[in-house]
Amino acid sequence: MAIDGTVTAGSQFEMAISEEATFGTAITATTTDTWKLLHLTEHQEWDLSGLVRDETMRLRGSRVPHNEDNYFTRAGGLVVIPFTCVATKITLDLLLYGVFQTITSEDALTPFEKIFEWNDSTTQPQFTDDTGLFYTVVLNGGIGSEDMIATTCILRDLTISSDPGTNGGRLTLSGNFISGFSSA
C-alpha cells in the first residue's frame, strides 16, 4: 500500500477563477497563467441544493436486489458559489468586469487602466451567444476528493467593503457565482 507523505488539513483550500471564451467550455488546468487565485478569508460551502437529481427505480423482474436496479443521474439545476476574499489588483478588476459586463475604455498607459461605466443606456448581455463574461471556478480542497469545478459561472452579486478591524483594513470582496454546470 502506497502512503502519501504530504500532510494536508481539511481546512486547506483555494479558490481560483478564470475567464472563459466559449459558453460551457471549462478552462483546463494546463494554462496556469489564466487562473486568478482569490485570497479567501473564510471557507464557504457551495450551495448544491438547487441541483435536480433523477432517481429512477428500475426493476428487472427479480426478487433479488441488483446493483443496476437504482439509476441516478443529475438532470440539471443551479449551483451557488459564495466567496469572501481580500481584494487584489488582479482580482478586483476581473470581478468588477463580471458585475458591469462592460469596459468603457481600457488603456495600460493612462493613470486609470480600466474605466467601468454604468448608466441608463448600458445594456446587459443576454448570455446566449457567448456574449458577456463567464468564469470557470475551481475549488481546490485540502483533501483531493473535495475538489470541485463549476463551468460557465456568472457573477450574480458583488459587495465591496472595508473595516479597519478586519483583514488589516484591506478592501474585502464578497459575492456569489451561479452556474448550471458543476462537477458536484
- Mean residue pLDDT across the chain: 75
pTM: predicted TM-score of the whole model, two decimal places: 0.72
Q: What is the DSSP string of the chain?
A: ---------TT-EEEEEEEESSTT-PPPTT-GGG-EEEEESS----EEEEEEEEEEE---S-SS--TTSEEEEEEEEEEEEEEEEE--HHHHHHHHHHHH---SEE-TTSSSSEE----TT-----SSSS-S-EEEEEEEESSGGG-EEEEEEEEEEEEEE--TTSGGG--EEEEEEEES----
- Identify the pLDDT of residue 82: 94
The model's pLDDT over 136-183, given as tens digits with 9 standing for 90+, comes to: 888 877 666 667 888 888 899 999 998 888 888 899 999 999 988 665
- Identify the pLDDT of residue 21: 77
- Identify the pLDDT of residue 134: 86
Q: How confident is the model at residue 1 (pLDDT cuts 50, 70, 90)?
A: very low
The model's pLDDT over 80-93, given as tens digits with 9 standing for 90+, comes to: 999 999 999 888 88
Cell of 132: 458577456
